[in-house]
Homo-oligomer: A and B are copies of this chain.
Amino acid sequence: MRPTVHDIAAEAGVSLATVDRVLNRRPGVRRQTVEKVENAVNRLGYVRDVTAANLARRRIYPLVFVIPAGPNSFMRVLEAEIASAMGRSPVERTSIRIETVPPFDSGALVRVLDALDPKAVSGVALVATDTPDVRAAVDRLMDQGVQVATLVSDLPGSRRVHFCGIDNIAAGRTAGNLVGRFCAGRRGRVLVVAGSMRVSDHMDRASGFAAVLEADFPDLDIVGPVETNDDADTVAQAVAAALDADPGIIAIYNLGAGNRGLIEAIRARRQRKLAVVAHEVTDHSRQALAEGVFDAVINQDCGHEVRSAIRVLKAHADGLAPLSDQERIRIDIFLKDNLP
């Protein structure tokens, strides 16, 4: 039988209330008494029953997700995952709200963050735009006791408690490795397509990709990255133009969104033998893999990311450390054969 507050009250020779004060680090207890209780805790190996505590406290965790608006498929899937987490709210004792902001608009993002009531929300997860004003807004929230986690795209240098996403440099390297091997000794150029160099995930992928190509595949040279703002039509035009202008392009790496446009452009040029690697499993990319238009898709499991964000934010709100192993988001590689 594991020890309860009663046991440690008895062991320490104090009352339940005092034990509770010490356990929750509330003021108004003599140092002497604090130590007595802490000793008892250690001696008996007490660990608090969080579920019982939450029951007694009728605790719910008010959480806010701030994500980009717009047609980006990946973000819409992310939103669906958040919605699905809202369905589990009663069980998980959460109260989740979604705020959408125009993509790549740090001003709007800051306004949303600043409008949050620190007393009414215990945690925020946001898809970050990597600018100083956003960093400052995040740090302000942390100062006010609101736990902040970044989602999908990180905010290096900020005080966010956790990044729920993948190592994007490694993701870029992985893409480089795949493209290199799929080109198998052929010589030529690789077109790199990006959304925006103002989000850290895209920058990281580009640099990881370039590093591997340079080090391990000297026969391949990079063209780009061309920036498309993650807009599918822009992607389609850019890719079409590049392919038509340069017959030496033998591979494409799209490290951003807008896969629909990429697929269009490639389908219209079926005769070109291209190795194509893109990011994120969506209906479009899934279809492209099945057809052989894409050779591989690198993915982050956004269901996992959302569940992880919730666990991490809850844990930090309680001053607990999350289970690092469970919270690491994998860099998934999908071929047509291992699609989920």
Contact = CB atoms under 8 A, between A and B. Distances in A.
A195 to B, nearest CB: 21
B170 A338 contact: yes
Contacts of A184: 181-182, 184-185
A326 B91 CA distance: 16
B332 A173 contact: no
Interface in A199-226: 208, 212
Contacts of A333: 332-335, 338
A51 B47 contact: no
Interface string A288-315: 0000000100000101100100000000
A326 B52 CA distance: 25
A315 B51 CA distance: 17
A177 B90 contact: no
Given A181-B181, A185-B184, A331 B326 contact: no
B51 A337 contact: no
Nearest to A184: B184
Contacts of A177: 335-337
B340 A330 contact: yes
Interface in A170-197: 170-171, 173-174, 176-178, 181-182, 184-185
A229 B338 CA distance: 26
A332 B330 CA distance: 9
5 contacts: A52-B55, A173-B337, A174-B335, A177-B337, A333-B334
Given A2-B90, A174-B337, A307-B326, 8 more contacts: A47-B90, A47-B91, A49-B55, A51-B55, A170-B338, A181-B184, A212-B337, A333-B334
The 7 A-B residue pairs whose C-beta atoms are closest, nearest first, are A184-B184, A173-B337, A51-B51, A331-B338, A333-B333, A174-B338, A174-B337
